[in-house]
Amino acid sequence: MTEAALLSEYRAPRPGELETAGRLLSESFIFPRTWGAGITASSEPETLRVLVENGEMNAAAMVHPWRQYFGGQPIASSGPGALAVAPEARGKGVATRLLRHILDEGRAAGVPLSVLYPASRQLYAKAGYAPGGWRISRLFDPAKIGMRKPELPVRRMTEADHAAVRALHDRAARLTNGWLGRPEYRWKSLLGSGDELRAGWIVEQQGEAVGYAVTSVVLRGEKRLLQVEDQAALNPAAAKSLLSFIGGQAFQAHGLLWHGGSFEIIDALLPENAHKIEIDRWLEWCLRIADVPAALEARGYPESLDTELHLDVADDWYPENCGRFLVTIRGGKADVKRGGEGRVRIDVRALATLYASHRAPSEVMMTGALCGPPCDIEQLGFAFRGPASGMADMF
């Protein structure tokens, strides 16, 4: 079948199509039908997209309207998840076409980034995605934290705390790279009272919330694990208090699960037994720069840096992203103009990995997707230097 012969519709599913979309999701992820039906019936139907080709629903996905923090700024980032192609339609470029629609839709709405968890790196590399950061799930014996009394008071979170929790999350997210800014429905499911295995905790200092954690119970066969689903602390006393509190709470658990990037505060605060942490799961998420100039201008940069980057970008999908850009960085911001000398030749995938502060230029150069004079490469490193990106969210 040629592209020209294909009658293709990319859109939100119509009410009469939700059952088919649910079945497609369940079959693709090998879950009972109720799983897909749960997604399509959930409170977030506006995130669902389907690809109908010649009258057949060939693919479905959720596209979350995230923001993602880089250089202290929350930037709009579309988040494809549960991407599913009908079994009988696979191997014909359907997923690739769906990704193209998702990115086109984002670009048209002014969304410069896209982030996802890849099942196959090849599929997403074809669409311009590249490694952007880690989600590392640490598993360790809570007894290793010790039964220390929290320095600051910790109390149960109530609904009245939710606005403060979001503000804390935003402040903490601005200090690192890669954290997701969540839409309303995501906060609701995280902080809502619907799950009896979940609880929220607030650390206070002089009557102000300075840290929080959302914990839940994970049952794995005979084992009961306490999971830290989300947390943030604004200062060392808040971080230590949260950790001591969680350690005490998890004392009877078979393990404590903690998700996040390559550096998490527990790594620094555990006494001498950090080497006892097991890696339960190790996922590398991928980032796509859908709109190069908009993404470069939206990000924050080191305040003291005053430099120019002369980029020559290659992108197989978007000619608007290709060619020379002069990026002037001053006062923590970038101004991007067409032109410059194009001294740094860089593929859009390599740019995503650098942009995320996931890897250093010297590491990215080893892939062959970045080259340029040593001084220019050094400036690139200064512009996108850490903290190394990570996220706790899974989607």
Ligand X SMILES: CC(C)(COP(=O)(O)OP(=O)(O)OC[C@H]1O[C@@H](n2cnc3c(N)ncnc32)[C@H](O)[C@@H]1OP(=O)(O)O)[C@@H](O)C(=O)NCCC(=O)NCCS
Q: Is 95 in the site for ligand X (CB under 6 A)?
A: yes
Q: Please count the helices (runs of H) and the strands (runs of E) in the chain.
A: 12, 18
Q: Are 338 and 114 in contact (CB under 8 A)?
A: no
DSSP β-bridge partners for residue 312: 324, 345
Contact map string, positions 97 to 116, toward ligand X, x by CB under 6 A:
--------------------
Cβ-based nearer residue to ligand X, 122 or 304: 122
* DSSP label of 46: G
Q: Are 210 and 233 in contact (CB under 8 A)?
A: yes
Q: Is 2 in the site for ligand X (CB under 6 A)?
A: no
Cβ-based nearer residue to ligand X, 116 or 246: 116
DSSP β-bridge partners for residue 257: 139, 227
109, amino acid identity: A
Contact map string, positions 32 to 51, toward ligand X, x by CB under 6 A:
--------------------
DSSP E strand boundaries for the chain = 8-11, 48-53, 56-70, 73-85, 113-116, 130-140, 154-156, 180-181, 198-205, 208-220, 223-233, 255-260, 278-289, 307-314, 323-330, 333-338, 344-347, 370-371
The distance of closest approach from Cβ of residue 53 to ligand X in the complex, given in angstroms and rounded to an integer, is 11
CA 64 and chain centroid, separation? 11
Q: Is 96 in the site for ligand X (CB under 6 A)?
A: yes
Site size toward ligand X (CB under 6 A) is: 18
Q: Is 24 in the site for ligand X (CB under 6 A)?
A: no
**Binds ligand X (CB under 6 A): choice among 50, 57, 63, 94:** 94
Scan residues 183-202 and list those touching ligand X (CB under 6 A): none
Q: Is 220 in the site for ligand X (CB under 6 A)?
A: no
Q: Is 119 in the site for ligand X (CB under 6 A)?
A: yes
Q: Are 375 and 244 in contact (CB under 8 A)?
A: no
**Binds ligand X (CB under 6 A): choice among 11, 14, 33, 92:** 92
Q: Is 391 in the site for ligand X (CB under 6 A)?
A: no
Write the burial class of residue 95 (CB in 10 Å: 0-12 exposed, 13-18 middle, 19+ buried): buried
Q: Is 329 in the site for ligand X (CB under 6 A)?
A: no
Cβ-based nearer residue to ligand X, 123 or 164: 123
Q: Is 93 in the site for ligand X (CB under 6 A)?
A: yes
Q: Is 90 in the site for ligand X (CB under 6 A)?
A: yes
- Binding residues for ligand X, rule: CB under 6 A, are 28-29, 83-85, 90-96, 118-120, 122-123, 126
